[in-house]
């Protein structure tokens, strides 16, 4: 039921803080507030803050001194009547006030329910709603910026021209089909539509390429450090993480399990995996470790191949270079401190001198910063719908090239349009919405 009144603690319930906020939304909000709030005001106006006490209606006792933010429908986050009770931040007090609201007939909100109402009441589109959760989850500056960009409805602004163009093509075709006898309508021909479709596909590809960048910023890059034993892979991991996470010894074959850690560089977050040195061995434990290394290598988005600069490159190095040839890789020469000549990507992991590598990685991902400067699709749901739209439009392109009559491409055009609408949540299924909003916190 959409119209019942929901309540939740919107601030953290894990630890006490200076204040807590209890949020309530729905048609009964002011009736419930009246029962619990003693305040000198005669009535509550929207966009006002009221000072007073929460009173236990059972015995009239004061529960807490509070400030109440008042929002009147439709001018609120959810679009409904809504209040935010700012109470003292003790967990006991917060729960007590929540309990009083529940006792007066409000229902405990489930995850994301406030934002779901905001979406269903047309206060925001689905990409904005998703951005609300993204900003709460953001753990670094770039992620927060990505989310803030989408929060203001930029994605809709970016998609609307594309939706208009598809609609334009559909309308033109339909006019021709429905009123072929009208001279003044003008016959639209396949030749006229072709460039429109091409142009549309180009724009779509641009959007998808920025989306790829935004996913790199948001999700980080699965980065695997490989090399033969003893070249300094674990030393490199430790230096990148600024932490002694992996065991380092002069004994070849030290690392057997995968050791993982995250590091935020200027342009990208790396999910690092240090692996067992890859080489021929009869040792059973090492063999299992090497198998894991190879598996990690298969799933890597970036491979750092470490070569020991103080030794001649041997057959094992060559084999590894060959095995990683097709991957997105960086080859670094470690133990630079032991050799005289300056190597292009020379580093000294154990000495903490890895600037060459860090600069190279930042350079590789610099182009992805584009996603911070313009509107971007920011999750798999949005991107897969965009890809589906592109696929439909590409079918239109192929059909036109094959000379298939215009009325037969209509369905693919409609599908492209529908996909874009679905990104914004304008076509939605209830289970899809449940899936999206259940990832939110309670109270948001």
Give residues in contact with ligand GTP (CB under 6 A). Answer: 227, 229-235, 248-250, 252-255, 276-277, 334-335, 337-338, 348-351
Residue 229 touches which member of Mg ion, ligand GTP, none, C-beta under 5-8 Å by kind:
ligand GTP
Task: Return the one option of Mg ion, ligand GTP, none that residue 334 interacts with (CB less than 5 to 8 A, by type).
Answer: ligand GTP
CA–CA distance, 262 with 272 (Å, rounded to integer) = 6
Identify which of residues 306 and 371 has a Cβ nearer to Mg ion in the complex. Answer: 306
Give 240 or 396: the residue with its C-beta nearer to ligand GTP: 240
What's the closest the beta carbon of residue 20 comes to Mg ion, in angstroms?
47
CB of 274 to ligand GTP, least distance (A): 7
How far apart, in whole angstroms, are the C-alpha atoms of residue 289 and residue 286?
5
Measured from the CB of residue 404, what is the shortest distance to Mg ion in angstroms? 59
The angle that helices 126-137 and 430-437 make with each other, rounded to 10 degrees, is: 20
CB of 286 to Mg ion, least distance (A): 11
Identify the DSSP state of 358. Answer: H
Dihedral sign for Cα atoms in the order 194, 196, 197, 198? positive
Of 254 and 362, which has the nearer Cβ to Mg ion? Answer: 254
Query: Rounded to whole angstroms, how far apart are CA atoms 7 and 386?
Result: 36
Alpha-carbon span 327 to 60, nearest angstrom: 71
Q: Output the CA torsion sign for 359, 362, 365, 366.
A: negative
278/416 with CB nearer Mg ion: 278
CB of 266 to Mg ion, least distance (A): 26
Return residues touching Mg ion (CB under 5 A).
233-234, 254-255
Residue number, nearest CB to ligand GTP: 277
Tokens, residue 36 = 């619990």
- What is the rounded CA–CA span in Å between residue 54 and residue 329? 62
Listing from the earlier edge strand, what are the strands of the sheet with 259-264? 259-264, 269-274, 221-226, 302-308, 329-334
Whole-angstrom Cα distance, residue 316 to residue 207?
42
Residue closer to ligand GTP, measured from CB, 249 or 359 = 249
What lies within 8 Å, CB to CB, of 411 at 6+ separation is none
Specify the residue, 276 or 377, whose C-beta has the smaller distance to ligand GTP: 276
Residue in 236, 230, 276 with CA at minimum distance from that of residue 257:
276
Q: Give which of ligand GTP, Mg ion, none residue 4 binds (C-beta under 5 to 8 Å, depending on kind).
A: none
Nearest approach, Cβ of 267 to ligand GTP (angstroms)? 24
Instruction: Name which of 29 and 239 has its Cβ closer to ligand GTP.
Output: 239
Q: Which does 123 bind (CB under 5 to 8 A by kind): Mg ion, ligand GTP, none?
A: none
CA distances (Å), origin 151, targets 120, 212, 246, 369, 440: 16, 19, 40, 18, 15
Q: Which does 231 bind (CB under 5 to 8 A by kind): Mg ion, ligand GTP, none?
A: ligand GTP
Taking the complex as a whole, how short is the minimal distance between the CB of residue 233 and Mg ion, in angstroms?
5
Q: How far is the CB of 364 from ligand GTP (least distance, A)?
A: 22
What is the DSSP annotation of 252-278? Answer: TT---S-EEEEEE-SS-EEEEEE-PPP
| Rounded Cα–Cα distance for residues 208 and 162 (Å) | 13
Q: State whether the Cα torsion 38-40-42-47 is positive or negative.
A: negative
- Identity of the residue, 168 or 249, whose beta carbon is nearer to Mg ion in the bound complex: 249
Q: How far is the CB of 373 from Mg ion (least distance, A)?
A: 39
Rounded to the nearest whole angstrom, what is the least distance from the CB of residue 290 to Mg ion in the complex? Answer: 12
In 182-318, the DSSP E strands lie at 221-226, 259-264, 269-274, 302-308
Please give the Cα distance from 25 to 69 (Å, whole number). 12
For ligand GTP, which is the closer residue by CB, 69 or 334? 334
Question: 20 has which bridge partners?
Answer: 87
Nearer to ligand GTP, 194 or 329 (CB): 329
């Amino acid at each position: 039921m959409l119209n019942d009144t929901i309540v939740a603690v919107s601030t953290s319930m894990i630890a006490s803080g200076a204040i807590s906020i209890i949020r309530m939304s729905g048609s009964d909000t002011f009736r419930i507030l009246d029962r619990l709030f003693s305040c000198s005001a005669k009535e509550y106006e929207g966009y006002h803050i009221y000072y007073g006490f929460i009173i236990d209606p059972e015995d009239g006792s004061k529960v807490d001194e509070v400030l109440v933010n008042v929002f009147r429908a439709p001018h609120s986050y959810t679009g409904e009547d809504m209040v935010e009770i700012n109470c003292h931040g003790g967990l006991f007090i917060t729960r007590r006030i929540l309990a009083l609201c529940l006792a007066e007939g409000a229902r405990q909100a489930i995850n994301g329910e406030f934002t779901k109402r905001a979406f269903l009441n047309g206060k925001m589109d689905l990409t904005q709603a998703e951005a609300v959760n993204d900003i709460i989850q953001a753990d670094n500056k770039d992620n927060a910026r990505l989310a803030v960009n989408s929060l203001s409805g930029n994605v809709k602004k970016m998609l609307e021209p594309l939706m208009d163009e598809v609609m334009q093509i559909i309308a033109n075709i339909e006019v021709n089909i429905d009123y072929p006898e009208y001279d003044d309508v003008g016959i639209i021909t396949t030749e006229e539509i072709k460039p429109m479709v091409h142009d549309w596909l180009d724009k779509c590809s641009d959007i998808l390429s920025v989306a790829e960048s935004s996913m790199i910023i948001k999700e980080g890059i699965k980065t695997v450090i490989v090399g033969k034993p003893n070249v300094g892979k674990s030393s490199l991991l430790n230096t990148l993480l600024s932490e002694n996470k992996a065991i380092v010894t002069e004994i070849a074959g030290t690392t057997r399990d995968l050791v993982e850690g995250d590091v935020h560089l200027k342009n990208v977050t790396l999910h690092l995996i240090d692996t067992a040195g890859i080489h021929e061995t009869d040792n059973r434990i090492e063999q299992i470790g090497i198998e894991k290394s190879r598996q990690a290598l298969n799933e890597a988005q970036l491979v750092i191949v470490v070569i020991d600069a103080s030794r001649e490159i041997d057959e094992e190095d060559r084999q590894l270079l060959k095995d990683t040839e097709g991957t997105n890789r960086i080859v670094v020469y470690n133990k630079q401190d032991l050799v005289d000549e300056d190597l292009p990507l020379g580093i000294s992991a154990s000495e903490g001198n890895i600037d060459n590598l860090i600069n190279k990685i930042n350079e590789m991902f610099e182009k992805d910063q584009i996603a911070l400067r313009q509107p971007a699709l920011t999750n798999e749901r949005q991107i897969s719908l965009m890809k589906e739209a592109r696929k439909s439009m590409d079918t239109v392109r192929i059909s036109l090239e094959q000379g298939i009559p215009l009325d037969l491409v209509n369905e693919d055009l409609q599908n492209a349009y529908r996909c874009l609408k679905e990104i914004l949540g304008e076509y939605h299924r209830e289970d899809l919405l449940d899936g999206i909003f259940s990832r939110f916190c309670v109270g948001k």
